[in-house]
Chain A
Amino acid sequence: MTPNDRKYSTTHEWVKVDGELAVVGISDHAQEALGDITFLELPKAGTSVEKGTECGVIESVKAASDIYSPIGGEIAEANDALENAPEQVNQSPYDTGWLFKVKGIDHAEIDALMSADDYETFLKEQE
């Protein structure tokens, strides 16, 4: 279910290391809770982000929520394809629905996030 090739935050983002970069998206649980996503405002390339701070907005038919960066660094690229196809986040949260890539990453910071198993336990506790 929850891919174990990446890490998870308590604010329901995932982080996957890809060479020098880290790819960030939201978990399947998060997209399910949000419902059909209608609009995304993603951070622009070149902006620096801090762990746990707001860096974008995600809107669904139910609610508007902040996107938090689970790690610090600099935005290398945002998934601009989502602008015209926000449904990708619902349909493929772990793959084509990724949100942004971060460079200048701190591996220790990523290691400190939850594993897939820990995240699933965390979700059960939240019930």
Chain B
Amino acid sequence: MSVIYDKSVPGRRGVRLPRSDVPGHTAIPEPYRRRSALNLCELSELDVVRHFTALSRKNFGVDTGFYPLGSCTMKYNPKFTEKIAQLDGFSSLHPLLPQLRRGGMLTQGALAVLYELESMLCEICGMDAFTLHPMAGAHGELTGMMIIAAYHHDKENNKTEVLIPDESHGTNPSSAAIAGYSTRPVPTNRKTGVLDLEALKDMIGDQTAAVMLTNPNTLGIFNAQIREIADLAHKHDALLYYDGANLNAILGKFRPGDGDFDVVHVNLHKTFGTPHGGGGPGAGPVGVKKHLVDFLPISRVVKRSDGTHALDYDYPKSIGYIAPFYGNFSVCLKAYAYILNLGAEGLSQVAENAVLNANYAMHCLKDDFEVPCLRTCMHEFVISASRQAENGIRALDIAKALIDRGFHPPTVYFPLIVKESMMVEPTETESKETLDAFVGAMKDIARQSRESSESFAGAPQSTPVGRLDETRAARQMDFAYALSGA
């Protein structure tokens, strides 16, 4: 594989820039001028098109194949939402417009989308208000934790600590720490696969600011002790935080607000059919109950008595600005279109099919792989390659072997509490035929690990580069490409 610079031919041109026709002196002042040549690659337009088209064909995405990356919900995003996001009235809108005099009247459509999406998320999650500003899941967590900190500060509560189950997403403790709290992990009960309630009872106290839960958790199990946990937390004026990364499993079935959660974030890019992966753009809206509304970030979209929408900045207790403008508007717009298109019935079916697909795949694999928590799972499940590891075949080897069989590997080595873990999330958009093909590939790999374990060393063979030395890549990081002749 060559980089675009390798294809450079001195003197070749793709575009010819016109001479400046701006009268007067426009040159960059002497001290700010570059001394050395720019060293750009020199190629024709066709060279560039072929280079990037070739790269794009090496890509693997949910549009090209099955992508069961657990904890990530890499589900298919229907294409109609892209069309809507490209509508000129939305895509050409300047984000400053609603803040300009009379500009609000020119942006009523966009403001209505934001207002209505907030209302729809309130209904889906059972919360009283939402902010759409956070631009990713972890950003939503941090916003949520800052709201919790503002609440305790306002009440003059002396809180120091946030309790987080050891099977939670790694971003939870980070968000709590950045919001100023120390964190303590609550152990998982190995029999039930969910948070150990007795341990929580021992750890919780007046110093506890919040308990952060992901439900269903990273073992793909729904924690039914929410009532007890909520009561326990609220007894100490600790708030209950819901990490909505796994909302796909409970859409239309369970509302965090009904479970007495005080704060929730949802990942529009996981659950609500907007693009995910490649670093975004994402969106992590945060919902709160009434007692926290005053602390939400500004601006907030309001509906006036005449039915028009406007931005309101008058919230003196607000945690302030957390994002430029109003968050990732186009992501919110796609989520809005997705929710309206599916409706209440469609959203419930998302959860039903996501859970059905995960349980189907888990039961097909349970004879070939260790399943640490063999009970009805939610939208994802965890298997362990511990049986295969006895023959020297680890989760990583299985992941590589799956690539050669045309599948994106599931998440490996997470959650950390399971040895040689592999976390599979099929999502609702996959057909039985696809699931059967994946199960077939996994069974084939299990058989191969018993019969010819040495054959794994060469995998993957179907990729542009083979087995990479991940250890060396981490120990001796080198991102710079040495240009020839530079």
Contacts and interface: CB of A to CB of B under 8 A. Distances in A.
Interface centre among A39, A59, A61, A63 (most CB of B within 10 A): A61
B416 A61 contact: no
Contacts of B470: 36, 61
Interface string A9-37: 00000000000000000000000010110
Given A62-B413, A63-B413, A38 B471 contact: yes
Contacts of B474: 36, 38-39, 59, 61
Interface in A40-75: 59, 61-63
Contacts, number: 21
Contact of A61 (B414, B419, B471): B471
A93 interface: no
A36 B471 contact: yes
Contacts of A62: 413
Interface in A63-101: 63, 86-87
B471 A63 contact: no
Interface residues of A, number: 11
A4 B413 CA distance: 31
Contacts of B471: 36, 38, 61, 87
Nearest to A64: B170
Contact of B475 (A35, A38, A63): A38
Contacts of B413: 35, 62-63
A62 B422 CA distance: 12
Interface in B452-486: 470-471, 474-475
A86 B474 CA distance: 11
A58 B474 CA distance: 13
B173 to A, nearest CB: 10
Contacts of B416: 63
A117 B419 CA distance: 23
Interface centre among A36, A39, A62, A86 (most CB of B within 10 A): A62
Interface of B: 413-414, 416, 419, 470-471, 474-475
19 contacts: A33-B419, A35-B413, A36-B470, A36-B471, A38-B471, A38-B474, A38-B475, A39-B474, A39-B475, A59-B474, A61-B470, A61-B471, A61-B474, A62-B413, A63-B413, A63-B416, A86-B475, A87-B471, A87-B475
Interface of A: 33, 35-36, 38-39, 59, 61-63, 86-87
